[in-house]
Structure 1
């Protein structure tokens, strides 16, 4: 088990690719008594309506093949209670879906989580620990280690290594984030075209459609079309709401 930041940094420096570093992280799970790994990163946690935004980067290792698609494409990510707890917490935590579990998760579970509860029981992945990594710009990553077919004393044993796992997770995230491309750094909540983003940014600076048209060398109706398209995608009813929602999704930078 790793005990120093420098050890973890040296460990991840062995691989120069994102996939390679994920593989190293997966191999390290056994040292914490874990079998599987989930890592996700989202630059914006919540949509303007309050629901969780599907992460821009998600990697699952040693888990059922259909799990990633179910979480991302069928809405399980939005109702995943571990993810919901992670976004509300700044500290690592142990979790358990079993009826005799005594973790924070057990007090949090409700009827809305039933599909996820059924899935994890069917897949025998009912126990694990999660580390939220909240970033200064509002982005968040979570590192989750899962123990398939966990023993009855998993909660106690996991508690003994939780601090070490938390340190590992934070350094792991730093090692991974350095290798993200532009797409992985961009929220999946709303997708604007480059021209739409440009027009919205100029609008946020106080420029009129006429002034924007002069700046980008396009006709005024073309600028208005881009702004209307952006507003439609963001569900904005006016310019103020358009700018506010664009800022929420990090589209003004």
Structure 2
């Protein structure tokens, strides 16, 4: 069940793509007795009104076939109690959805999580480990390993392998994050056009619509149109709120 940290970093460095690095991680996880892998990254974790934002990147290995769509496009991510725990604390944790489980997750489950609870029982993915990775800029990632058909004593076994799994999680994230492009680093919550973002950035610097029009060589009405479109997308009532929300979503 052990792995060499130097060999792990070497294997990750030699893997040329994100997909290849996740394949390395999945192989190492197998040595820890874990089957499915889930890695996700969100440049912004919450909307301005507190709702979870679907990550801009999901990497999954050996998960049920419909899980990718359910979590990335059907709203299951927003009601996933494991994600709620991960975003509220940087502490790695073992989890179990079973009624006799003795993990931090068992104390957190309530009625809003029922669709996820039913799904994980139906697909035999009730037990696993998750490492939250909270970053300085406010972005975050989570790295999860799942054991299919885990025994009832998984809480003890999971606690034993958690330190090695945590090392794996941070090594994998450190290897993958530099490969992210603009699509991965842009929040899925709000999409502005390049011109809207440009006008918004100049507005945040204190420039008037007239000043911005001179900078980008467009008419004042055109600049105003772009700023108004950005404000609508950000659900902002005035310029100050628009700039504050743009900063929240890392659009400036």
Q: Which runs of 4+ in 1 moved over 6 A?
A: none
* Structure 1 SS opposite 2:14: coil
Unaligned runs of 5+ in 2: none
Q: Is the 8 A contact 2:25 2:168 kept in 1?
A: no
Q: Which moved more, 1:153-162 or 1:34-43?
A: 153-162
Q: What does residue range 17-56 of structure 1 map to in structure 2 within 5 Å?
A: 17-56=17-56
Residues 92-141 of structure 1: CA deviation (Å, up to 9, x unaligned)? 10000000001000000000000000000000000000000111111100
Q: Secondary structure at the match of 2:58?
A: strand
| 1:1-253 aligned within 5 A | 1-4=2-5, 6-252=6-252
Asked whether the equivalents of residues 37 and 62 of structure 1 are also in contact (C-alpha less than 8 Å), the reply is yes
CA separation in 1, counterparts of 2:166 and 2:20?
21
8 Å contact kept, 1:2–1:168:
no
TM-score, normalisation: structure 1: 0.97
What is the root-mean-square deviation in Å for CA atoms of aligned residues? Answer: 0.9
TM-score using structure 2 length? 0.98
| Secondary structure, counterpart of 1:178 in structure 2 | helix
Structure 1: gaps of 5 or more residues: none
Whole-angstrom CA distance in 2 between matches of 1:57 and 1:2: 27
The alpha carbon displacement at 1:29 in A equals 1.2
Aligned residues: 251
Native 8 Å contact 1:25 1:172 kept in 2 = yes
- 1:3, distance to aligned residue in structure 2 (A): 4.5
Summarize deviations over 1:211-247 as a string: whole Å, max 9, x none. 0000000000000000010011010010000000000
Task: Judge conservation of contact 2:197–2:251 (CA < 8 Å) in 1.
Answer: yes
